[in-house]
Chain A
Amino acid sequence: MSMTNIFQIAGSALTAQSQRLNVAASNIANADSVAGPDGQPYRARQVVFQVAPVAGSQPGQAVGGVKVATVLQSQAPFRLEYRPDNPLADAAGYVAMPNVNVVDETLNMMSASRSYQANVEVLNTAKTLMLKALTIGQ
């Protein structure tokens, strides 16, 4: 029954994209968090998407939804800002700031929201088609 699979596929994409949106929101919110619970500056996080084949599909014929495989922490070096009056500054007066690139995150957020919208539209279309199929012969 492939029409019900569409709900699964688009639904998984909605989940994955909203998680991506969540991570982008967390990154933007913490763009200036100098110290986290471990005392280190916040590290930017990124989701990694992976194909999740629909149950019962044959190998090689696999179409599928999306799942978030892992959430990676960015290993980029911290941004150093000269703030000699800050208590967290090192001997030279530099404070290690999070390695979040706010512009990147904003773009990420826009891309995630567009993908989310596209999948909502897919869901709506699939729903319309299913309802239409119910009216065969009427």
Chain B
Amino acid sequence: MVDRLDEAFQFYQTAIQLRSQRQEVLAANIANADTPGYKARDVDFSAALREAVGTAETPRLPDTRLSLTSPRHIPAASSGTGPAPLLYRQPAQPSLDGNTVEMDVERVNFADNTARYQASLTLVSSRIKTMLNALQQ
């Protein structure tokens, strides 16, 4: 039962987590709008979500660790999963100092992401209400 509930909310949890991660990246872009050489970053949301819920066409490899046989070995590890990979934005008008943040683009994306984040929250809230209703029957 709890498993089923967890499964029912898993998708929304992942989506909200990715939205808040993207929000952070966009906030960093706006914060660095005047930093010379800063390259604007973004997350490909739908690809990241597909990957997070495990329906990506090419799933990422699992974490790989070097086996340590001596205390002097370096515990190197490559993480396969984790936060969605950050991509670089293609600027329409890069500035002379190497900064590729375009304030209008960032603001639009920020507002868009905010609206979608709130939509996800509303959806998950109504989903919880549905579940509660079903429980009370």
If over half of A's interface residues share one DSSP class (helix, strand or loop), that class is named, otherwise mixed; here it is: helix
What's the nearest-Cβ distance from chain A to residue B51, in Å? 15
CB pair A137–B27 under 8 Å, yes or no, is no
In the complex, residue of chain A having the shortest beta-carbon distance to the beta carbon of B103: A118
CB pair A64–B34 under 8 Å, yes or no, is no
At the interface, yes or no: A86 with Cβ under 8 Å from chain B?
A: no
CB pair B103–A9 under 8 Å, yes or no, is no
CB pair A6–B34 under 8 Å, yes or no, is no
At the interface, yes or no: B14 with Cβ under 8 Å from chain A?
A: no
* Chain A stretch 1-27: residues in CB contact (< 8 A) with chain B: 2-3, 5-6, 9-10, 12-13, 17, 20
For chains A and B in complex, what number of residue pairs have CB atoms within 8 angstroms?
95
What's the nearest-Cβ distance from chain B to residue A65, in Å? 5
Q: Which B residues lie within 8 Å of A129 (CB)?
A: 20, 23, 114, 117-118
CB pair A66–B20 under 8 Å, yes or no, is no
Known: A6-B27, A129-B114. A63 touches B41 (CB 8 A): yes
At the interface, yes or no: B44 with Cβ under 8 Å from chain A?
A: no
Pick the contact of A115 from B33, B41, B114 — CB < 8 Å? Answer: B33
CB pair B125–A138 under 8 Å, yes or no, is yes
Q: Which B residues lie within 8 Å of A138 (CB)?
A: 125
At the interface, yes or no: B25 with Cβ under 8 Å from chain A?
A: yes
CB pair B21–A51 under 8 Å, yes or no, is no
Proximity bits, A111-138, B CB within 8 Å = 1, else 0: 1100100110010011011001101111
What's the nearest-Cβ distance from chain B to residue A11, in Å? 9
What's the nearest-Cβ distance from chain A to residue B81, in Å? 12
In the complex, residue of chain A having the shortest beta-carbon distance to the beta carbon of B28: A63
What's the nearest-Cβ distance from chain A to residue B93, in Å? 16
CB pair B32–A51 under 8 Å, yes or no, is yes
Give the interface residue-count category, chain A.
Answer: 35 or more
What's the nearest-Cβ distance from chain A to residue B124, in Å? 6
CB pair A6–B124 under 8 Å, yes or no, is no
Q: Which B residues lie within 8 Å of A137 (CB)?
A: 124-125, 128
Q: Which B residues lie within 8 Å of A133 (CB)?
A: 16, 121
At the interface, yes or no: A49 with Cβ under 8 Å from chain B?
A: yes
Q: Which B residues lie within 8 Å of A70 (CB)?
A: none
Which B residues lie at the A interface, using CB under 8 A?
Answer: 16-17, 20-21, 23-25, 27-28, 30-36, 38, 41, 79, 82-83, 85-86, 103, 107, 110, 114, 117-118, 121, 124-125, 128
> Which 7 pairs across A and B sit closest by C-beta, in order of nearness?
A13-B31, A63-B28, A2-B24, A49-B35, A6-B27, A137-B128, A2-B20
